[in-house]
Amino acid sequence: MPRPVIGIIGNSFLVNDEYPAHAVGHGNSRAVAEVAGAMPVLIPSDPDLVTTDDLLDRFDGFVFPGGRANVHPEEYGEQETPAHGTFDRGRDRVALPLIRAAIERGQPVFGICRGFQEFNVALGGTLHPEIRDLPGRMNHRMPPDGTLDQKFALRHVVRVEKRGLFSRLFGAEEVLTNTLHGQGIMRAGAGIEVEGFAPDDTPEALHVTGARGFAMAVQWHPEWRAAHDPVSRPLFEAFGAAAQDWSERPRMRRAV
């Protein structure tokens, strides 16, 4: 049986500060291939190169991974400030309409870190530019020093809703995750159901209510050692199963 094909949204950056490139972290590709059982393909974050309709027709599901650049605040009705950080406007213009269209179509979508925030913005929500500046919040950012293993180490508990989608996947109401983000949900968008929270009440896991397909996102990075992590593995397995189901549908039924 052919593997489903998963599009992973790329991030734009400069090689040696001068050569424009698109990239996807190895962890995302390996998690899609080894745990979701699908073929990973990078999608360039440039709206001049791809269209939403073409992407929907050629892929069986999409992963919206993390990235250093943030969603531009114009996308949720706010003015840019230094606290909002750096931006990738090409990714904004590829990812946000693709999320809306895939959810409407019932096509599987999985958001990670920035992708978690993109889900919220795509459906009309807003973001805090810097979580650690809010009263009572912890610093969720990546530690500045140490090895990758140390930076991606499990750092806090996430409590998930009892009998929710995530607790059923995890078989638990509390899980341990890493944390490597600066921004977070301020106001939830239409249909965004936040099911998981950090100890400081920062939203960490969501699904889209009423979605006809897999439409889940997490604020942490489950792609890190996904094949061996008891929290990450069921997320990618469930996403892969949804993509496999989509791939087996007759083409005419997919758009219904």
Q: Which residues does the annotation mark as catalytic?
A: 113, 221, 223
| CA neighbor of 239 nearest in space, from 65, 101, 43, 51 | 65
Residues of the domain holding 121: 5-254
In tens, the pLDDT along 161-186 reads 999 999 999 999 999 999 999 899 99
Query: Residue 254 has what pLDDT?
Result: 61
Number of domains the chain is built from: 1
CA 198 distance to own-chain centroid: 17
pTM greater than 0.85 (yes/no): yes
CATH of the domain at 193: 3.40.50.880
CB 40 within 8 A of CB 8: yes
Tens digits of per-residue pLDDT, 99-129? 999 999 999 999 999 999 999 999 999 999 9
Residue 207 carries which DSSP code? Answer: E
Element (H, E) at 90: helix 89-105
